[in-house]
Amino acid sequence: MNVFNFNAGPSALPKAVLEKAQSELLNFKGTGMSVMELSHRSKEYEAVHQSAIDLLKELLRIPDNYQVLFLQGGASLQFSMLPLQFLKEGKIGNYILTGVWSEKALKEAKLIGETQIAASTKESNYTSIPEFSDLSFNKNDAYVHVTSNNTIYGTQWAEFPDITHAPLIADMSSDILSRPLDIEKFGLIYAGAQKNLGPSGVTVAIIRDDLLAENVEHVPTMLRYQTHAESNSLYHTPPTFAIYMLNEVLSWVKDQGGVEAIEKINKQKAKLIYDAIDESEGFYTGHAVKEARSLMNITFNLPSEEQNKVFLAKAKELGFVGLNGHRSVGGCRASTYNAVPLEACIALSDFMNSFRKL
């Protein structure tokens, strides 16, 4: 059966990566073992580990004064880990709310220290991204936190504010590696891998060296960024297979022409589906305002909930997977991450156009 995978995460992986992993599954690099069976201290695995770090630095043009860390616990653990490091007495964790995940990040920070909401679009049901002019800062901000892309509501920051008084920290779980980034705008970027980087199980953090110099003696050892930076993310057994897959995905991105080429294709994919929405004469209604639309998660509704159900049932029959909206908001959602091929988006656009004419 031909399947078009639009799952929001864990999501599609490049077919070429899956095929290579399959071919190496029982005998990695002549070891006679799967990469999952290798010691994380072996030279074969350490080569994979370092390659993944080096490729990410190359693809995102990460400056030398930043470290790449491989962590666990997903972005959800980062919601606690970062305020534990930086939200000290007399400091404020400043959060820009653009969806459920930024709300969850704020909730965890509140358990640790003082927080503030720099701006929020909750009153409009998160259909947009705040204007830079609406952001409210404090001289005592420990950091300013932003969620770059919002999987549930389908909005995305097109540009990021220039923050100079405190580090800008970003959860980029759902759009990292989908477009070029000015890394130097950020003190810390973190991302669960299961959207654009690889399978679930590994979390990438990109952290500036000066933030690693913070006094964190009060923080449990495993929850310190310093611990993982000092050991090249080998302080304890890392998720070796997930990092192996991450390395292969990064190699695939490089083979496609790098992040710039990936962004170009992502724009083509998203345009196909947004055009089907915009040209439907109101049959499909996008959730996000046009200027805030995500290139990764395209959210929309049909005229009624009953028609949503019929659409999703028919789509499933035809091999479209993962088009249901998040359980908290309903509707429909197409997640067009890097590994989703252009052909899948053409097929979905064609289906949407034919369905509304039934």
Judge contact between 168 and 185, C-beta under 8 A.
Answer: yes
Q: Please say whether the beta carbons of 293 and 333 come within 8 A.
A: no
CB burial of residue 129 (10 Å; 0-12, 13-18, 19+): buried
CB 133: neighbour CB atoms within 10 A? 7
Whether 171 is catalytic is yes
The single residue of 171, 175, 252, 269 carrying the catalytic annotation is 171
Residues in the chain: 358
Q: Nearest-CA neighbor of 143 among 111, 176, 186, 110? A: 186
Q: Is 101 a catalytic residue?
A: yes
Residue 223 buriedness (CB in 10 A; 0-12 / 13-18 / 19+): middle
**Radius of gyration for the chain, computed over Cα atoms and rounded to the nearest angstrom:** 21
Give the E-state strand segments of the chain in sequence order: 4-5, 66-71, 92-97, 114-120, 141-147, 149-150, 155-156, 168-171, 188-192, 203-208, 285-286, 297-301, 320-321, 332-335
Active-site residue (options: 141, 157, 175, 195): 195
Nearest CA among 20, 41, 44, 17 for reference residue 33: 44
Q: Which residues are annotated as catalytic?
A: 101, 171, 195
